[in-house]
């Protein structure tokens, strides 16, 4: 469209400065920190920090928990929001109210809800009461490994609505005539889902999955509200806890090393996902 070079650089100046000053320059500058020892002479020690951080038990715990939480949350959000969006499509005109209610938690502050959440999941709480009513035993939700459950549910409660909205929007781009034709040919609804809906919305399906995964890496708030900066239950100690505690000590060597290690893991993961998605799309065509 427009080609005026001076104008575009002028208009981009604020974003350019901001992105460079806050992200890009220090990102590369940080590599220097991760390769030096942080003493007065700042000796170059190669990958010594990486060895140290990777052997740090707190880093291992944090990374493990962050990965576990995200692996549990991302696919769950993807599948549940797909099913919900599908149910909304079935309801057609009556779906509007439900869709709006499902989106509502996305804007709610989790800090305000943590108290009611701990009441629901208390040892004597309503969740346990229902378990007992179903003939099961009470669970101590707010300690140890089961604490992951309330955190994951709170996280999903909050984040599922936005994925549902993206899926709903994507469904509208699929022509209805395709479904009508398929039903005339005798295709079952489930078959139609896999052979019509999924292939046609695969870009947004991929986007929802990636976004769900990136956001799931960020699960920290919920754990922080329940457990504080040093939670008693190590099962909810996330990578963010590790980073925060080393930021507080101004330990640049550790935080930069941990950050780049995690960046590499994430990039490998997304590269794999992207590769799989392109394979699936090719297979469809």
Partner 1 sequence: MPVSHKHPERHHYWTLGKLLCFSLLLLLSILTLLPLVLTFLYSFFPQSEIKAYLALRNNYNTEMWMDFLISPKQATVRQYYTILIDNPQYLKLFCNSVMYTVMILAGQALVVPLTSYCLTKFEFRGRDALFFVILALMLLPFQVTMTPTVITLRTLGLMDTIWAVILPMWFSPFYIFLLRQFMLAIPNDMFEAGMMDGCGPVRSYVHVMVPCCKPILCAAAALSFADCWNMVEQPLVYLANNTGLQPLSVMFNQLNAEGTEVAFAGAALYILPALLVYLYFQEDILLGVQLSELK
Chain residues 233-252 in contact with partner 1, contact rule CB under 8 A: 239-240, 243-244, 247-248, 250, 252
- Residues from 3 through 42 that contact partner 1 (CB under 8 A): 3-5, 7-9, 11-12, 14-16, 18-19, 21-27, 29-30, 33
Which positions from 172 through 211 interact with partner 1, judged by CB under 8 A? 172-173, 183, 189, 201, 203-204, 207, 210
Q: Is the Cα torsion angle 238, 242, 245, 248 positive or negative in sign? A: negative
Asked whether position 44 contacts partner 1 by CB under 8 A, the answer is no
Number of residues counted as binding partner 1 (CB under 8 A): 106
Q: Is 37 helix (H, G, I), strand (E, B) or coil?
A: coil
User: In whole angstroms, what is the distance from residue 4 CA to residue 267 CA?
Assistant: 36
For 108, the token pair is: 């709610």
Least distance in Å: CB of 45 to partner 1? 19
Query: Min. distance of Cβ 225 from partner 1 in angstroms?
Result: 5
Task: Point out which residues pair with 44 in neighbouring strands.
Answer: 36
Q: What is the DSSP letter of 238?
A: -
Q: Does 224 bind partner 1 (CB under 8 A)?
A: yes
Residues 6+ apart with CB under 8 A from 260: 30, 31, 34
Interface pattern 65-104 for partner 1 (x via CB under 8 A) = -x-----------------x--xx-xx--xx-xxxxxxxx
Evaluate whether 5 touches 11 at the Cβ level (below 8 Å). no
Q: How far apart are CA 35 and CA 60, in angstroms?
A: 20
Is position 144 an interface residue for partner 1 (rule: CB under 8 A)?
no
Q: How far apart are CA 285 and CA 281, in angstroms?
A: 6
Query: Which burial class, exposed, middle or buried, applies to 255 when counting CB atoms under 10 A from its CB (0-12, 13-18, 19+)?
Result: buried
Q: Which of 58, 67, 114, 234 binds partner 1 (CB under 8 A)?
A: 114
Stretch that binds partner 1, among 45-53, 191-199, 256-264, 277-285 (CB under 8 A): 256-264
Shortest reach from residue 57's CB to partner 1, in Å: 18
One residue of 37, 122, 232, 277 binding partner 1 per CB under 8 A: 122
**Tokens for 267?**
């990039």
> To the nearest whole angstrom, how small is the minimum distance from the Cβ of residue 174 to partner 1?
10
**Residue 84 tokens, joined:** 């919900």
The minimum distance between CB 282 and partner 1, in angstroms, equals 20
């Amino acid at each position: 469209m427009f080609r005026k070079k001076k104008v575009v650089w002028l208009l981009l100046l604020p974003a350019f400065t901001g992105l460079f000053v806050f992200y890009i320059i220090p990102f590369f500058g940080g590599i220097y920190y991760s390769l030096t020892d942080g003493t007065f002479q700042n000796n170059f020690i190669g990958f010594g920090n990486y060895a140290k951080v990777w052997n740090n038990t707190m880093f291992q715990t944090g990374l493990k928990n962050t990965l576990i939480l995200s692996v549990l949350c991302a696919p769950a959000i993807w599948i549940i929001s797909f099913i919900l969006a599908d149910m909304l499509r079935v309801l057609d005109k009556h779906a509007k109210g439900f869709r709006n209610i499902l989106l509502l938690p996305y804007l709610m502050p989790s800090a305000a809800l943590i108290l009611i959440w701990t009441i629901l999941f208390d040892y004597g709480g309503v969740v346990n009461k229902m378990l007992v009513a179903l003939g099961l035993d009470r669970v101590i939700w707010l300690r140890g490994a089961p604490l992951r459950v309330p955190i994951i549910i709170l996280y999903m409660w909050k984040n599922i609505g936005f994925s549902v909205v993206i899926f709903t929007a994507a469904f509208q781009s699929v022509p209805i005539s395709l479904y009508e034709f398929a039903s005339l040919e005798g295709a079952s609804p489930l078959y139609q889902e896999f052979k019509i809906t999924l292939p046609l919305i695969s870009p947004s399906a991929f986007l929802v999955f990636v976004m769900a995964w990136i956001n799931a890496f960020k699960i920290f708030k919920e754990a922080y509200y329940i457990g504080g900066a040093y939670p008693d239950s190590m099962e909810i100690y996330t990578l963010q806890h590790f980073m925060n505690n080393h930021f507080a000590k101004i330990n640049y060597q550790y935080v930069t090393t941990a950050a780049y290690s995690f960046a590499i893991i994430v990039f490998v993961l997304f590269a794999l996902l992207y590769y799989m998605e392109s394979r699936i799309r090719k297979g469809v065509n």
